[in-house]
């Protein structure tokens, strides 16, 4: 693969405000009651008064070896060679939901036509498939940031080529990231969150 794009998330800087989830809908033209490509989990722990919460912003993590692709019976899901972004060819999608069951992040969602859609790192416009869109350019080459990153209040979310993201973060975050199949770097000191698959 020429390049692998991914996300960076720092729970210390996430204020759980949902600007990212609404920005995702606005940029990609998803109705309020439409599929949630990005969501926030307000994970909680303990009982009053020894109680704490942590907010985690989650979307498709564009896995190194996407389980959704493995289970897709029609080959509608692709991992693009040029930027590693996982996209879906909606013409091939038969709406069987296998991808939703296999995804650890609950990323695949379905529209009214039962076609899979999800985060495509803001490739092109609408739809959520990203199929056939040009490669994700680096910001300095004129590429835009995903809407969620663009509107993250605390700077908790970043996106970009993984090798560039890893330059800015702690070693332990990088170690953790390399052990994951998903392309997400979670800053050290962040939460241990178990992602549970969910379907629409």
Judged by CB under 8 A, the residue of 8, 9, 37, 39 near another protein is 39
Judged by CB under 8 A, the residue of 90, 117, 151, 183 near another protein is 151
In the window 51-90, what residues touch another protein (CB under 8 A)? 51-55
Task: List all residues 6 or more positions away from 15 whose beta carbon is below 8 Å from its beta carbon.
Answer: 55, 153, 154, 156
Judged by CB under 8 A, the residue of 4, 17, 69, 111 near another protein is 17
Judged by CB under 8 A, the residue of 73, 95, 126, 132 near another protein is 126
Nearer to another protein, 27 or 138 (CB): 27
Strands 157-161 and 86-88: unpaired
Judged by CB under 8 A, the residue of 127, 128, 146, 182 near another protein is 127
User: Count of CB atoms within 10 A of residue 88's CB?
Assistant: 26
Nearer to another protein, 49 or 75 (CB): 49
CB of 56 to another protein, least distance (A): 12
d(CA 184, CA 193): 13
Asked if 95 is part of the footprint of another protein (rule: CB under 8 A), the reply reads no
d(CA 93, CA 73): 9
DSSP state of 169: S
Scored b (16 or more CB within 10 A) or e, 160-180 reads bbbeebbeebeeebbebbeee
By CB under 8 A, name the binding residues for another protein: 12-13, 15-19, 21-23, 25-27, 29, 31-33, 36, 39-40, 42, 44, 46-49, 51-55, 125-127, 147, 150-155
């Amino acid at each position: 693969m020429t390049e692998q794009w991914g996300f960076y998330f720092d729970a210390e800087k996430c204020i759980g405000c949902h600007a990212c989830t609404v920005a995702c809908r606005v940029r990609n033209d998803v109705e309020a009651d439409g599929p949630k490509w990005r969501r926030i989990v307000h994970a909680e722990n303990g009982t009053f008064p020894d109680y704490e919460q942590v907010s985690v912003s989650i979307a498709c993590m564009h896995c190194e070896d996407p389980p959704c692709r493995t289970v897709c019976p029609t080959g509608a899901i692709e991992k693009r060679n040029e930027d590693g972004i996982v996209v879906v060819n909606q013409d091939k999608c038969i709406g069987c939901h296998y991808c939703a069951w296999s995804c650890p992040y609950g990323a695949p969602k379905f529209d009214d036509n039962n076609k899979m859609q999800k985060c495509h790192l803001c490739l092109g416009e609408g739809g959520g498939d990203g199929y056939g869109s040009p490669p994700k350019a680096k910001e300095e080459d004129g590429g835009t940031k995903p809407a969620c990153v663009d509107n993250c209040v605390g700077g908790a979310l970043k996106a970009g080529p993984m090798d560039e993201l890893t330059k800015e973060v702690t070693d332990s975050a990088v170690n953790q990231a390399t052990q994951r199949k998903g392309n997400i770097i979670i800053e050290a000191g962040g939460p241990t969150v178990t992602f549970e698959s969910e379907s629409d």
